[in-house]
Amino acid sequence: MAYIEAFLSSSDFVRQIDLLKTGSTIQHFGSMHLSQVKVPLPPLDQQRTVASELEIVNEQTRSIRKLIERQVSLLMQRRQALITAAVTGQIDVSTASGRGVTDGMA
């Protein structure tokens, strides 16, 4: 079941759905279309291996996402602290040139 769940959330499945949709203004997708979707079905042991490896990757992704969210939160806190310090005069911004402020920003 985990293998099928992974396939249903894959770009391959979405691409097939997009190709099978009908209608020019409002696109439709029904059971007739779903029956045309091609699902790769390797042997059961291979499906289990793929599902197991995918779960490991998903767990790593969740961990990395949590770390990034924490880093963004800390950066926002530090940014606010810097703004507060500048506004309250705790740091002198009158001599700041502003050069390099956008370095590394996309």
Higher pLDDT residue, 102 or 89?
Answer: 89
Q: Cα–Cα distance between 88 and 3 in angstroms, integer?
A: 57
Q: Is the dihedral of CA 75, 106, 92, 84 positive or negative?
A: negative
Q: Cα–Cα distance between 64 and 88 in angstroms, integer?
A: 36
Token digits of residue 32? 């007739």
19 lies in the same domain as 52: no
**What is residue 91's three-state secondary structure?**
coil
pLDDT value at residue 101: 60
Rounded mean pLDDT, 5-12: 91
Q: Is residue 49 part of a domain?
A: yes
pTM for this predicted structure: 0.60
Question: Containing domain of residue 2, as a range?
Answer: 1-41
55 lies in the same domain as 26: no
36 lies in the same domain as 56: no
Based on the number of CB atoms within 10 Å of its own CB, is 3 exposed (0-12), middle (13-18) or buried (19 or more)? Answer: buried
